[in-house]
Every structure is written in structure tokens, then in C-alpha cells.
Structure 1
Amino acid sequence: MKKKRILIVASLSQSLINFRGDFIKSLIHSGYDVYALAPRHLDKVKDKLIEFGAKPLDFNLNRTGLNPIKDIQTIRELKSIMKDNKIDLVFPYTVKPVIYSSIAANQLGIPVISLITGLGFAFTGLTRKARVLQQLNETLYKLSIRKNKIVVFQNRDDYQLFLDRKILKKNNKVAFVSGSGVNLNQFKFRKNKIDSNKISFLLVSRLIKEKGIALFLNAAKVLKEKYPESEYHVIGATDKSPSSIKEEELKNLHEQGIIVYYGKQNNIPEHLYNRDVFVLPTYYREGVPRSILEALSVGLPIITTYTPGCKETVKKDYNGILIKPQNIDALINAMEYFLINSDKIEEMGINSRNYAEERFDVNIVNSDIIELISKEI
């Protein structure tokens, strides 16, 4: 029997390996032909996808901003790719792939299962620009995803917002998964002994203010003075976003000994193994942050915000602390709790690993999505 052909559509080539690699391998193992589509594939990503058994394809996508002419061209190109490769089902994730792939596939009568991985800056409502983008995205989502077979969400808050804003109707079929999942074998449980005199905190993120980096830096300044042996580690890249932290500021704090700044790193598991508490004080509209899932798997207590996508990763008094977003005092208090109660780090770390095994194992997440796919083609 001819294998069914799945087209996965991404906005960033590397994400197909970093976030969907296990999913692609699971689909292939389940007997599907997988086509992995992204703009400007890197050679190393292509090679890895081919090694998995997938077929890498390229398309043109204007990742930032809106250009109606280019966007229409993208939709036409997507339709050609779907027709030429005789695609049976389309699986897009992140905003633009979901919108444009859904429009293209629906025009061709190809079923779509779309994944909403978080609503990002546009749905924070923090600035005039964000509010304008939200209205625009709402309109585009309404035009694109209502005919999809299933819309998959990573948290129920995002679904409720889609209902409240009338992006989806109650009769639209939806499903829920626990983020992108985490490979528990890749992020193994750490067994380090906690040094109560030298507690270290780690933030791994895109270094924009909405992710809480400025709050983390301010907390580090306060706590480093009070607890000189404590450590505050920062991993991530600055970018051209208006809210990006300036690299000069990070380097200055590094030179002063307040933080340890690494820039972008590829060996995240190693850094997680050597730290004590993971911190992500984000007020960005997350799906379920992959960085937190990796920290859970390794066995770190979590400090994050009571916001959609993040609050799902922490059980109160079990594996971490949830704080109000944009509240520096709450963040300082949460971090200081572990400086004072270092005995809780090991206990909550074990609980984090247990929670990852129970809810966020990538095999569970992938199995749930593949079951949805099998019912639609």
C-alpha cells in the first residue's frame, strides 16, 4: 500500500531538528513519508533530515513583517509544493506557516492539522504595535484555520482566547498536547551534589525583555550583593528586536562578576547539569517553553511566571515557584527562597523529573499527535 505523505511546515530550518526531530522520526517509524519544508534550509539540517529518512524541501517566506504581494506568492508556492509532491496531510506550526499553509491546503482540499505553539509578542497587548499585530493576526487566523481538520494547542488559555476573540467556533475540532515534549534520554536526570554555599541560577532564552531577562539581571544585582557566593548564569543570543537586551550591558555585568554570560550555546544539557535552579520570568505568550521542559527533565526546580504555557510546568510546593509576571520583588523572593532553603533544591528537582516523565515525555506528545493524524488520512 502506498505510504501517506505528511508535509511539515516550519518557519525556521533548525527547528525541524531541535523541536520536531523526534516527531519526524516517529512519523517515519509509523510508516509515513515525511516532507520537511522550511525557508533556506541549512546544509547541516538537510543532511540530518535525510539521515532521519525525511525529504527536505525549501520555500520562500518573509519571516518578519507583512508584504501582501510576497505573502500571496508564498501561498501560491505552497500550493505548488503540495500538488507536486502529492501531499496527503499538512502539519504546520508557528504563526506564518500555520496561516499560509492552511490557506494553501484548504484551497486544494488537503486536510490540515495545525499546531499553535504560543501566541508570542503580538498577543501580549503590551504596546500599541502588539495590539495592532494582534488584530491583524486574529483576522488572518480566522481566514485560515477554521476549515482545518484539527487545531492543536499547547495550553488551554490560548484556546480560550481563540474562542473569546471568535477566531475559532466551539464546533471547530481541537486537541491539546503538553508542548513539544522533551527527550528524556537526551536530557538525563542529573545526580550532582548541591553545594549550599554556592547556589547557581540559570536562564536560557532569547534575550528580549518580554522573556524576563531584564528582571533576571536586576534580581542578580540585588542578590549577588547579599549572597556573594551565589551565581547567575545567562545563555542566549541578543537580536535586532527593539526589546532586545544590549550585548554591552550583558558583558559589563559579566566583567563585574554579577552574572556569567555565555551567549548562544549548543551544549545546553551540560549547562543544565551544572546549575541548581532554572529561571524564566517571561511575560511573553508562550506555548509551553521548551527550555523549561529541558530543565524539568534534568531535574531542576523551576521559577517561572503564572502565565499561559508556563503555569502548566510547575505544581505549587512540588517542583518550583510561580510568580506574578513583571514583578521584580516576587522574582527576588522566589530566588532567595532557594538560597535560604537549599535543601529544597534536590527534593523539588526530583519532583521536576517525575513531572517530566509523567506529562512531558516527547514519546507521549508524539504518540498523541500521530494518533490524530492517523484518524484524518
Structure 2
Amino acid sequence: MEKKKILIVASLSHSLINFRGDFIKSLIKSDYKVYALAPGHPDKFKTKLIEYGAIPIEFNLNRTGLNPVMDFKTIRELKSIMKKYKIDLVFPYTVKPVIYSSIAANQCNIPVISLITGLGFAFTGLTFKARVLQRLNETLYKLSIRKNKVVVFQNKDDYQLFLDRKILKEDNKVAFVSGSGVNLDQFQYRINKIESNKISFLLVSRLIKEKGISLFLEAAKKLKEKYPESEYHIIGATDNSPSSIKEEDLKHLHNLGIIFYYGKQTNIPEHLYRRDIFVLPTYYREGVPRSILEALSVGLPIITTDTPGCKETVKKDYNGILIKPQNLGELVNAMEYFLINKEKIEGMGINSRKYAEERFDVKIINKDLIDLISKVI
């Protein structure tokens, strides 16, 4: 019997490895033929996908901005790819792949299970541009995903927003998963016994203001003066976004000894193992942040915002602290709590690992997704 063919559509090649690598391997182990589609595959990612057993394919996608002519060409190209490879089911994730792949697949009568991984900048509603993009995305989502077999969400707040904005109807079939999951073998637990006053905080993120980077920097300035032995570590890359933090500002604070700035890193587990508390004061519309899941797995207490996607990762008084978004005072107080109550760090870290095992294990999440796929095709 010929294997069923799954087309996974992403906006970035590396996300297929970093966020869907275990999923791809699980699909292949479950006897599916997997085509991995992204707008360009650098050789190292193409090689990795082939090692997994997937077939890498490329397509043209204008990742940022709107160009109706380009977007129409993208949909037409997607239809051609789906027909050429006789795809049995399409699995897109992130905004543009979900919208364009859903339109293309629906026109080809190919079933779609789409994954909403967070609503991002457009649904923050904080600027005029964000509000305009939100209205546009709402319209495009309505046109594209209502006919999908299943729409998968990473948190129930996003689903409720889709209902409230009438993007989806009550009778649309939906499912929920706890983020992309975390490989508990790759991010192994380590016991953190605090034996000095050199408590260290770590933030790992794309370095844009919506992720709360500016708040973290302000908190570091305040707390470093009061607790000179404390440390504040930042990993991530700046980019061309208008809200990107300026790299020279980060380097300036690094040279002053207020923060440790590393730029983009590939050895994230090593950094997590050396730190004490993980911080992500984001007000971006997250799905469930992968960076927090990795920190949970390693066994770090979490400080993050009481917002969709993030609040799912923290149980109050159990494994961390939730703060109001864009509230510097609450962030400072939360970080200072661990500086004053060092004895809480080990216990909350243990609880973070337990929570990761109970809810965010990638094996659990991938099984749920593959069960959905098998029911559809």
C-alpha cells in the first residue's frame, strides 16, 4: 500500500528543524511520506531534513509585507506543488503558510489541518499598523481556514478571539496542543543548588520590544545597582523590524557590566544549564513560547507575563511568577523575589521540570497531532 503524503508548509526552513523536527521524524516513523516545504532550504537544513527521511521542497513566499501579485503567484505555485506530488494532507503553520496553503489546498480539494502558533505583532493592537494588519489578517483567515478539516490552537485565548471576531464558527472543528512541545532528552533536567549570591537571570528571544526586552534591560539596571553580584544574560538576534532593539545599545550595557549579551547562539541548553531563572516579559501574541518550554525542561523557575500562551507555562506559587504585561514594577519585584528568596529557586525548578513532563513533552504533542492526521486521512 502506498504511503500517505503529508505536506508540511513553513515560512522558514530552520523552523522545520528547530520546531517541527521531532514531529517530522514521528510522522515518518508512523509510515507517512513527508514533504517539507519552505521558501529556500540552506544546505545544512536540507541535509538535516533528508537525514530525517523527509523530502525538502522550496517555494516563493514574500514573508513580510503585502504584494497581491506575489501572493497570488504563491497560491498558484502551492497548488502546482500539491498536484505534482499528489499530496494527501497539508499541514501549514504560521500566518502566511496557513492562509495561502489553506486557500490552495481547498481549491485542490486536499484536506488541511492548520496550526495557529500564535497571532504575533498584528494582533497586539498596540499601533495603527498592527490594527490595520489585524483587520486584514482577520479577513484572510476567514477566507482561508473555515473549510479546513481541523484548526489546531496552542491556547484557548486565541481560539476565543477567532470566535469573537467571527473568523471561525462554532461548528468548525478545532483541537488544542500545548505548543510545539519540548524534547525532554535534548533539554535534560539538572538540579540547581544555590550556593552564593550570584543569582543569574536569562532571556532568550528575538530582540524586539514586543518581547519585553526593553523592560528586562530597565529591570537589570535597577537590580544590578542594588544587588551587584546578580547577573542578567541575553541571547537573541536583532533584526530589521522597526521595533528591534539596537545592537549598539545592548553592547553598551554589556561593556558597562550591567548585562551579558551573546547575540544569536546555537548552544541554548548549555546557557540554560548555567543560569538560575528564565525571564520572558513579552506582550507579543504568543502561541506557547518554545524558549519557555526549554527552560521548564531544564528546571528553571519562570517569570513571564499573564498573557495568552505564556500564562499556560506557569502555575502560581509552584514554578514561577506571572506579571502584568508592560509593567516594569511587577517585573522588578518578581526578579527581586528570587534574589531575596534564593531557597525558592531549587524547588520551583524541580516543579518546572515536572510540569514539562506532564504537559509539554513533545512525544505527547506529536502523538496528538498524528492522531488528528490519521482520523482525517
Q: TM-score, normalised by structure 2?
A: 1.00
Kept after mapping to 2: 8 A contact 1:206/1:238: yes
- Give per-residue Cα distances to partners, 1:308-331, cap 9 Å, x unaligned: 000000000000000000000000
Superposed CA deviations along residues 78-137 of structure 1, whole A, max 9, x for unmatched, are 000000000000000000000000000000000000000000000000000000000000
Per the TM alignment, residue 194 of structure 1 is displaced from its structure 2 partner at its CA by 1.7
CA distance in 2 between partners of 1:68 and 1:168 (Å): 24
Quote the Cα distance in structure 2 between the aligned partners of 1:312 and 1:197.
30
Deviation at 1:192, TM superposition (A): 3.7
Aligned-residue offset at 1:370: 0.2
Determine helix, strand or coil for the equivalent of 1:14. helix
User: What residue in structure 1 maps to residue 35 of structure 2?
Assistant: 35
CA displacement 1:31-72 (0-9 Å, x = unmatched): 100000000111111100000000000000000001000000
Tell whether 2:216 aligns with 1:222. no
1:115 and 1:26 mapped to 2: Cα distance? 17
Unaligned 5+ segments in structure 1 are: none
Q: Does residue 232 of structure 1 match 2:232?
A: yes
Number of matched residues?
A: 377
Aligned 1:1-377 pairs, distance under 5 A: 1-377=1-377
Identity of aligned residues (%): 84
Moved over 6 A (4+): none
Give the conservation status (yes or no) of the 8 Å contact 2:192–2:349: no
Q: Report how far residue 190 of structure 1 moved.
A: 1.3
Q: Aligned equivalents of 1:191 and 1:354: distance in 2?
A: 12
Q: Distance in 1 between matches of 2:248 and 2:79?
A: 45
TM-superposed deviation, 1:196:
3.5
Distance 1:195 1:282 in 2: 30
Letter matched to residue 367 of structure 2: S
The whole-number CA distance in structure 2 between the counterparts of 1:97 and 1:15 is 13
Contact 2:191 2:346 in 1 (8 A): no
Deviation sequence 1:129-162 (CA, Å, 0-9, x none): 0000000000000000000000000000000000
Q: Tell me how far 1:171 sits from its aligned partner.
A: 0.2
Cα distance in 2 for partners of 1:243, 1:92 equals: 27
Relative to structure 2, which stretch is displaced further, 14-23 or 191-200?
Answer: 191-200
* d(CA) in 2 for partners of 1:314, 1:256: 33
Rounded to whole Å, the distance in 2 between the matches of 1:279 and 1:331 is 9
| Mapped partners of 2:175, 2:202: distance in 1 | 33
3-state SS of paired residue (1:375): helix
1:329-352 per-residue CA deviation (whole Å, 9 max, x = no partner) reads 000000000000000000000000
Q: Encode CA deviations 1:224-244: one digit per residue, 9 max, x unaligned.
A: 000000000000001111111
Say whether the 8 Å CA contact 2:192–2:276 is kept in structure 1. no
Secondary structure of residue in 2 paired with 1:279: strand
Q: Deviations over 1:256-290 (max 9, x none)?
A: 00000000000000000000000000000000000
User: How far, CA to CA, are the matches of 2:28 and 2:289 in structure 1?
Assistant: 26
CA distance, structure 2, for counterparts of residue 311 and residue 226 of structure 1: 29
TM-score, normalised to structure 1, is 1.00
Alpha-carbon contact 1:183-1:361 (below 8 Å) kept? yes
Kept after mapping to 2: 8 A contact 1:196/1:342: no
Asked if the contact 2:38/2:59 (under 8 Å) is kept, the reply is yes
**Which moves more between the two structures, 343-352 or 189-198?**
189-198
**Secondary structure of the equivalent of 1:322?**
strand
d(CA) in 1 for partners of 2:21, 2:194: 33
Partners in 2 of 1:293 and 1:343 — Cα distance? Answer: 23
CA distance in 1, matches of 2:186, 2:168: 37
Q: Which amino acid counterpart does residue 98 of structure 1 have in structure 2? A: V
Q: State the AA in 2 paired with 1:70.
A: M
Q: CA RMSD in A?
A: 0.5
AA in 2 matched with 1:268: I
Q: Distance in 2 between matches of 1:195 and 1:163?
A: 50
Q: Which amino acid aligns with 1:150?
A: V
Give the conservation status (yes or no) of the 8 Å contact 1:76–1:104: yes
